[in-house]
């Protein structure tokens, strides 16, 4: 029992020998990911998206319940629930073969 106690105490005191460093980064009003990426933000209507980004290259009809509609633009894809944006995904540039 005494040997186990010495091992535990020795291990715990060894952990205290290493300093723990951390940094706290404070940001006041950080920009949203959508604003940085230049893509439609959550909650915009279909009309607002089309007015701001133009007509999509492709429109897919609504599927499921609730109805989810997908619009494809050259650099991103927008997913709508009913007629409001719920998610935007950036598209990668096509890979070029060498």
Residue 44 lies in a domain: yes
What is the DSSP annotation of 17-35?
TS---------SSPPPHHH
Say what the pTM is: 0.60
The answer on pLDDT for 94 being more than 90 is: no
Residue 18 lies in a domain: no
The residue segments making up the domain with residue 58 are 32-98
Residue 96 lies in a domain: yes
Helix (H, G, I), strand (E, B) or coil at 11: helix
What is the DSSP annotation of 44-98?
-BHHHHHHHH-S-SEEEEEETTTTEEEEE-SSEEEEEETTEEEEEEEPPPPPPP-
- What pLDDT score does 41 carry? 92
Question: How many domains does the chain divide into?
Answer: 1
For residue range 15-64, list pLDDT tens digits in order: 555 666 777 777 676 656 555 568 999 999 999 999 999 999 999 999 99
**Token duo for residue 18:** 């290493």
Residue 72 lies in a domain: yes
Residue 66 lies in a domain: yes
């Amino acid at each position: 029992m005494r040997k186990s106690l010495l091992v535990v105490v020795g291990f715990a005191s060894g952990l205290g020998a290493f300093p723990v460093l951390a940094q706290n980064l404070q940001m006041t009003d950080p920009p949203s990911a959508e604003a940085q990426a230049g893509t439609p933000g959550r909650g915009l209507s279909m009309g607002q998206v089309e007015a701001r980004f133009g007509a999509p290259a492709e429109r897919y009809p609504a599927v499921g319940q609730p109805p989810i509609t997908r619009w494809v633009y050259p650099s991103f894809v927008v997913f709508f629930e009913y007629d409001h944006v719920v998610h935007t995904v950036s598209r990668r540039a096509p890979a070029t073969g060498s």
